[in-house]
Amino acid sequence: MKPRILISRRWPDVVEARLRQRYDVTLNAGDAPMGVEQLRAAMSAYDALCPTVSDRVTAEVLAAPDARVKMIANYGAGYEHIDLAAARAAGVVVTNTPDVLTDATAELAMLLMLMTSRRAAEGERELRAGQWTGWRPTHLLGRSMAGKTLGLVGYGRIARATARRARAALGMEIAYYSRRRADDEDGATYHETLESLAAAADVLSLHTPGGPETHHLVDAALLARMKPTAILINTARGSVVAEADLAQALADGTIAGAGLDVYQGEPKVDPVLLAAPNTVLLPHLGSATLETRTAMGMRAADNLDRFFDGMPPLDRVA
């Protein structure tokens, strides 16, 4: 009997084909996030679940009666949507897919930085709307990146990959804040407080995990510390930013702009952010390259295989 697994959304074809060779694979219908009742029912019908960031695997889900699931192979690096304590209590192994999405997410951080600082989305909207009246010296002036300071909040793999690109490709200075000073700073300047980093940065880019520890780290008080010419980039998690405070800061000129890939209530986006001209808003595309999404699926499949072979999975988080 093949182990029964549920994947919550389509994975790249090549990964699905690999999974079908070894597992009895069910694909959840539709694009909507799986609800609590649906996930609770899945707990008793499958041997493993493969959720994504939008499927909230809560304590209530993990406490489902007659649960059969023994393994949750998350498709993604971040796993704050899975209650790890409840998984541990239920004896469920949880894995993620780190490393393979580092470069793609750093690329997207660069894209947002450049688009926001050079007002690319504003320009494109204007041109497509037929409102471009011609070249003029003061039209849509952005800010140069060369010599400016990129302030990284968190200094893990994706932050470092972003730093390398920003330094090499754009000539930026790198600064960072993290709870612990890194042993290998790779030429970056450490700030002991987030407030000090926020005040020094021309671009403040978020690279922390989500979850309660980083909830609303960027709020009105922190935004008030930033330079009025600075921009905020978020490719981490929407929960790290108090969105209403950010919308206000953009509206009243506290900061110059924001490039966002993630939102508090995805896929809903605050209407004030939508209406603000100085935002670049992407629909959570951080890891969205064919290579990366395939590698993420293969990594999740490796974790499943090792688990069902009775070996410790590579990327066990619970």
By CB under 6 A, name the binding residues for ligand 8YV.
52-53, 75-78, 101, 286-287
Nearer to ligand 8YV, 46 or 79 (CB): 79
To ligand 8YV, the closest distance from the beta carbon of 184 in angstroms equals 24
Looking at beta carbons, which residue is closest to ligand 8YV? 76
SS3 124: helix
Nearer to ligand 8YV, 272 or 282 (CB): 282
To ligand 8YV, the closest distance from the beta carbon of 9 in angstroms equals 8
Is 266 in the active site? yes
- Which is catalytic among the residues 80, 126, 195, 266? 266
Q: Report residue 164: phi and psi, to 5°.
A: -60, -45
Count other C-beta atoms under 10 Å from residue 45's C-beta. 15
- Which is catalytic among the residues 18, 160, 191, 284? 284
Nearer to ligand 8YV, 69 or 198 (CB): 69
Rg for the chain, CA atoms, rounded: 21
Nearer to ligand 8YV, 116 or 287 (CB): 287
To ligand 8YV, the closest distance from the beta carbon of 101 in angstroms equals 5
With tokens 């090499």, the residue in question is 168
To ligand 8YV, the closest distance from the beta carbon of 70 in angstroms equals 21
Helices (H), 98-191: 102-117, 120-128, 157-170
Nearer to ligand 8YV, 149 or 208 (CB): 208
Distance CA 33, CA 288 (A): 18
Is 136 in the active site? no
- Which is catalytic among the residues 237, 293, 299, 306? 237
Is 284 in the active site? yes
Distance CA 83, CA 136 (A): 54
Residue-by-residue DSSP string for 23-69:
SEEEEPSSSSPPPHHHHHHHHHH-SEEE--TTS-B-HHHHT-TT---
Q: Which of 178, 161, 258, 259 is nearest to 214 (CA)?
A: 178
To ligand 8YV, the closest distance from the beta carbon of 238 in angstroms equals 10
Cα 263 to Cα 7, 99, 190, 233, 252: the distances in Å are 23, 22, 27, 12, 21
CB contact burial 204-214 (16+ within 10 A = b; e otherwise) = bbbbbbbeeeb
Please give the positions annotated as active site: 237, 266, 284
